[in-house]
Amino acid sequence: MGKNYRSELVGVFGCPIDENPTGVMEEAGFAAKGLDFRYITIKVNEGDLGAAMQGLRAMNMRGINLTIPHKVEVLKYLDELSEAAEIIGAVNVVVNNAGKLWGENTDGKGFLTSLKDAGVSPQGKTVMILGAGGAARAISVECALAGAEKIIIVNRNTQRGQALVDLLKEKTPAAVEYIPWQGAIVVPQGTHILVNATSVGLFPNVDQKPEIDYDTITADTVVTDVIFNDPNSLFLQAAAARGAQTINGLGMLVNQGAVNFTLWTGEEAPLEIMTEALKREFGL
């Protein structure tokens, strides 16, 4: 039996993609585990995804991550979907099982792991989510499937907010409410988990935070942010100043990356090494 010179290929398709740091974390994990896997960051323009997915099959790539603008478009090129991906209607990771492409959405799963790591469970809780985009969809669906009693969606665009509420009502057992985002939003009493699933505060706009009445955040609220660059967002700083427990977006990013790692390799992800690699990348 001769030596095997072929590496297993995974990566990410997106546009823009140049600033995506996922490869740093995944490559660090592969190296730590001694796995002959390569993670390649690939620019795929809108309209070219079909050709890219064909290329993935032709080159026997083991899998791929999807980011903007391909998370929904990719569905038409897949053979199977996980339950969560089917409900969310978006996929951020594909696994190639001998030519059969299976899609999953690990954004919400990464979020749930971050909660669990902090000793928090959404079961029986009220979860308030700012935003109704891809991250909000993934997080709200996973929280509902994990037994959240009530989900509150806050969004400026009523149509988008209502569409997410309708989806959750139809596909999950949770009670759901929509609050139009006008002015500084009051966090209702009894809100256990508050999530910023918008991009407000993302680098380079680190001097911004979502428009809410921060004095309605209490010490009983767990406040989380999907933003990982900067992980110490003004949103979390303002919540911590009110005594709230806070969870930053770095954990969610690493945790969803760890799920992807395991889906592709079948091995447990070396979380600490992957986290350290990202922190170095962000100069933390």
Catalytic residues: 71
Q: Are 22 and 256 in contact (CB under 8 A)?
A: no
What's CA 194's distance to the chain center, in Å? Answer: 16
Q: Are 188 and 128 in contact (CB under 8 A)?
A: yes
Interatomic CA distance for residues 172 and 143, integer angstroms: 10
Closest CA to 96 of 61, 52, 67, 59: 61
CA angle 101, 102, 103 (to 5 degrees): 120
Q: Where are the alpha helices (DSSP H) in 59-211?
A: 83-88, 107-117, 134-145, 158-171
CA angle 25, 236, 160 (to 5 degrees): 85
Residue showing tokens 């740091």: 21
| Cα-trace Rg, the chain | 19
Residue showing tokens 């969803």: 256
Angle between helices 22-33 and 271-281 (to 10 degrees): 140
Residue showing tokens 């447990």: 268
Interatomic CA distance for residues 66 and 116, integer angstroms: 25
Q: Are 264 and 95 in contact (CB under 8 A)?
A: yes
Residue showing tokens 């001769």: 2
Element (H, E) at 130: strand 126-130
